[in-house]
Amino acid sequence: MSTGRILVIDDDPQIRRAMRASLTARDYQVTDARTGEEGLEKLRSGTYDLVLLDMNMPGMGGIEACRLIRSGSEVAIIMLTVSNTEKDKVNALDAGADDYVTKPFSLPELLARIRATLRRLPQPASHTDLSGLASKGVEIDLSSRQASVRGHASHLTAREFDLLSYFLARPNKTIVHRELLQAVWGPDYGDELEYLRVFVNRLRKKIEPDPSKPQFLLTDAWAGYRFHLPQ
């Protein structure tokens, strides 16, 4: 029984072989691609649950490939980066990746990230009253993972949706960084504040009428975030 279909996009044949061997042994179905272009082609012709995407590749490169994948699909993306700098991590997340792993990584670490990324949160309690949002021109449809601001609709990725659901289930209450990270990303997380920063910004772009002046998804400096749900 397969636990998920994974597309490995990396220009290095050794890494592709190691990934294929290790992941297949854990019951994942593995397909690989040598370049971003080939990966996009494979994504068009098949369905995948997750993409392992190398950041430094000849041709279009990982960041550009990530952006292109994200523009047409909500598939989970984990970026493999060489550099451990904040700038590269934020670039990867900004391009639409759900997570990143720094090379060289240990396999258990990668497997944990894959499991966390594929893990779906239980559907949020649907009794949250969203009519206050609707009165401000923001519609959120939890069943189809759609958000629309003044008629402009956008689709949420699974991780964005999980984060938003977590907020909506606990409106008007400050949620600290660690709690958010562990609830939405998984128990292994807790210090990756850049994840929150990037994902909150991504959510704001989809649900805030003016993302630079958020009305709903608010920052509580040094503590966490709070979802202001108008009554």
Partner 1 sequence: MTSLTNSAAPEAHFVFRQFFLKATRLAGRVLTSLAVIGAITFVFFRVFPVNATTTGFFYLVAILMIATAGGLVESTIASIAAMLCFNYFFLPPIGTLTVADPQNWVALFAFLATSLIASQLSARAKRRTKEAIARQHEVERLYSLSRSLLLTEPTRPMPKQIVQSISQAFEFPAVALYDRSNDQVYRAAEGDLTELDTRLREAALRSTLGDGASGFTIVPIRLGGQPIGSLAIRDSSLSDAALQSLVNLVAIGMERAASQEAVNRAEIAKRSEELKSTLLDAIAHEFKTPLTSVKAVTTDLLSDTTNQLPQHQRELVNIADEGIDRLSKLVNDAIQLARIEGGQFQLNRGIYSPNALISAALRQMKAFVEGRTINLSISVDMPPVWVDADLIQMVITHLLDNALKYSPSGTPIAINATSRNGRVIICVADRGPGIGEAEQARIFEKFYRGKTDRSLKGFGMGLAIAREIISAHGEQIWVASGLGKGSEFCFSLPVAQEGAATNEHR
Q: Which residues contribute to the site for partner 1 (CB under 8 A)?
A: 12, 14-15, 17-19, 21-22, 25, 56, 80, 82-87, 103-111, 177, 190-191, 193, 197, 219-224
Nearer to partner 1 by C-beta: 56 or 128? 56
Between 15 and 130, CB nearer to partner 1: 15
With CA atoms as reference, report the closest residue to 8 among 53, 60, 45.
Answer: 53
Nearest approach, Cβ of residue 226 and partner 1 (Å): 11
Are 26 and 3 in contact, with CB atoms under 8 Å apart?
A: yes
Q: How far is the CB of 170 from partner 1 (least distance, A)?
A: 18
- What is residue 61's three-state secondary structure? helix
Q: Give least dist CB 127 to partner 1, A.
A: 30
Looking at the Cβ atoms of 10 and 145, the one nearer to partner 1 is 10
Q: Which is nearer to partner 1, 136 or 228 (CB)?
A: 228
Residue 75 CB neighbours (<10 A) = 18
DSSP secondary-structure letter at 80? E
Minimum CB distance to partner 1 smaller for 191 or for 210: 191
Report helix, strand or coil for 84. coil
Beta carbon of residue 85, minimum distance to partner 1 (angstroms, whole number): 5
Closest CB to partner 1 among residues 107, 153: 107
**Residues 6+ away with beta carbon under 8 Å from 113:** 78, 99, 101
Token pair recorded at residue 160: 């964005």
Cα(122)–Cα(167) distance, integer angstroms: 14
Phi, psi of 139 (to 5 degrees): -110, 130
Question: Rounded CA gap, 157 and 91, in Å?
Answer: 17
Q: Closest approach of Cβ 221 to partner 1, in Å?
A: 5
CB of 87 to partner 1, least distance (A): 7
**β-sheet with 146-149: strand ranges across:** 138-141, 146-149, 152-155
